[in-house]
Amino acid sequence: MNRTVSILIMVFCALLTTTTGCRKDDAARSVQPGGKSYTRIISMAPNITETLFALGLESRVIGVTKFCKYPPEAAKKAQVGGFFDPNYEAMVALKPDLVILLPEQEQAKKYLENLGIATLTVHNRLIGEILYTIIVIGKTCGKEKEAYEMVGGIRSRIETVKKKTESLERKKILVSVGRTPGSVEQIVIAGQNTFYDELITLAGGINVYHGYPVPYPEISGEGMLRLDPDIILDIQPSLAAMGLTEKDACHDWDKIPELRAVKTGNVYILSADYASVPGPRFIRTLEEMARIFQLTP
């Protein structure tokens, strides 16, 4: 497994996404919304778990991955392995009537369906897919009204952000989503056609990366100097677990003092857990980005 993929699994296991778009028929291929009342649900990704809990379905969730830490009650559920290494024995032992997973987990999907266990595949690469996932899960699990209300609330907050930032001078933004602590020599950044790319635009910025159409490219320190962003947003949700602080993470960037963002003091660390999960709380990341962009002269 190469270094880029390793970093992304650690930092953002739920966002190792396919490069294909969301097709509504894919999302409901295995189960039909409203066709059954599912009461024993296994979630195979953090964003799915957050969506289930946000819709008030926590009592029906019987299993989650080891990466599902939010809300805190989710961590108390039975664990069924990781994102790419599920514990099938543990899953089957829980006797689920529905397993909700992502497109990257096609092998798990086939295995479970061969056992007669219903699955639901949802998408999380772009904002529209995140919102559609909320609707699909809501419809499938009898929470359609709550799902539409949640999506409506998120869309309203998006519009509020757009109104506040539409007159801003658009700065060049680099979003770092994975790097080795203490080093900024090789980092994984948000490229095109990702939900971070959309968040940057909605918050009033411009994604500084316009190279090869790779969702999450890895670039060197020299590559960053060529991009020379006005603002750097460093996604670091695991700082506390590593015994580090936001100040520590920010100081790492002093190793490339020639960067415009470093010279002007415009390096920001986003250490909240929701900053790395493409689920319902992505709206908080958008609002935090907008606040930062508004503060930047």
The predicted structure's pLDDT at residue 7: 42
CA 137 – CA 231 distance, rounded (Å): 36
Token pair recorded at residue 16: 């190792």
Counting residues of the chain whose pLDDT is more than 70, the rounded percentage is: 88
Find how far residue 84's CA is from the centre of its chain.
Answer: 16
State the pLDDT confidence band at 297, using cuts at 50, 70 and 90.
Answer: low
The reply to whether 168-295 shares the fold of 3-160 is yes
Q: Which fold has domain 168-295?
A: Rossmann fold (3.40.50)
Question: Could you tell me the CA-to-CA distances from 285 to 62, 82, 245 in Å, in that order?
Answer: 29, 25, 19
137-165: pLDDT as tens digits: 999 999 999 999 999 999 999 999 999 99
CA 229 – CA 210 distance, rounded (Å): 12
Residue 167 has a CB neighbour count (10 Å cut-off) of: 7
CA 248 – CA 256 distance, rounded (Å): 15
Q: pTM value?
A: 0.87
Q: Which CATH number fits domain 3-160: 1.10.510.10, 3.40.50.1980, 3.90.420.10, 2.40.30.10?
A: 3.40.50.1980
Q: Output 94 or 32, whichever has higher pLDDT.
A: 94
Token pair recorded at residue 261: 């963002």
CA 294 – CA 288 distance, rounded (Å): 10
4-38: pLDDT as tens digits: 443 444 444 434 433 333 344 444 345 654 446 89
Backbone angles phi, psi at 42, to 5 degrees: -110, 130
Residue ranges of domains in the chain: 3-160, 168-295
Which of 9-23, 93-107, 179-193 bottoms out in mean pLDDT, i.e. has the lowest? 9-23
The predicted structure's pLDDT at residue 211: 80
105 DSSP assignment: G
State the pLDDT confidence band at 200, using cuts at 50, 70 and 90.
Answer: very high
CA 258 – CA 225 distance, rounded (Å): 7
Q: What is the mean pLDDT of residues 120-132?
A: 96
CA 248 – CA 274 distance, rounded (Å): 20
The predicted structure's pLDDT at residue 31: 60
The predicted structure's pLDDT at residue 196: 97
